[in-house]
Structure 1
Amino acid sequence: MGRYTHKTAISNHRLLDYSDGKVTFSYKDYRQGGKKKEMTLSDVEFIQRYVRHLLPKGFRRIRHFGFYNGAIKKKKVTQIRTSIGQKPPKIKEWDWVKISSEKLGYDPKVYPCCKERSMVIIPRFASQRAPPKKENLNAASIN
């Protein structure tokens, strides 16, 4: 009863019969290659097994398997796209100088003191803090 992602533990079409305090339902026996079988349980036993699959309030049950499995997703999705003739999506490249000019309103290649466009930028890893405020980027605060 546990092979599900966003669904319930057992769907209505698998419930075959309820009579005389007995519940009959279908299931797949994966130990025998996914062979479809039927099981009959007392109503109390059925409810006890069903309740094991209920999560506490606020929790979600999500499992990824098949080609959405995280360990093989990238490789398999690429293979699937190739097999159906779909090109991989284009990854947008970011021009950090253009973004700095547009979003922050300053050109990072212009030297703040003399306003000459001769500054050489040496890239470094981004810090783990918020970006500087626009008003803090004037020539007086950069020395």
Structure 2
Amino acid sequence: MPEDCPKQWVVDCKDVGNGDKAIIYLGRYLYRGVIREQDILQCENGMVTFRYLHAKTGQYRSRTVTGEYFLYLLMLHVLPKGFRRARCYGFLHPCSKKLICFLQMVLRVNPLNMFAKKLKERPTITCPVCGAAMKIVLTKIAKPPAKQVHLPYMSEHGEIVM
């Protein structure tokens, strides 16, 4: 073991049950779900009532749907195989731009020098008529046509619509 580790340990082990509470705690801590438990208001007779925050008004609304449709709504948030969910905390959080600037100042790091792409020198383009140097004022690269993908979805009545 490294020298700076303590030589003696104090271990306080207590029986806390079968670990259900630990799994619930870790599940909340490690992965924020689509909907919180307290937002599921009622689940009876195959119908689920839940509340959600309306994006445009910022007000809570409730909605009652079939259990199958509720599961369908949840599954819309499951990433496809091979994709990874990225969540950033601390100075990597998108709202931490001021903190990042402060850290760059303290560490004396110039991000422009670190990440600037070095452009390759291009030969001068000359006019075929007069031989003068030409300046590029606009470039346009045509986008390839997007493929339209139509995915099946489930209606509120539990029917799959193609």
TM-score, scaled relative to structure 1: 0.43
Q: Higher RCO, 1 or 2 (CA under 8 Å, sep at least 6)?
A: 2
TM-score, scaled relative to structure 2: 0.38
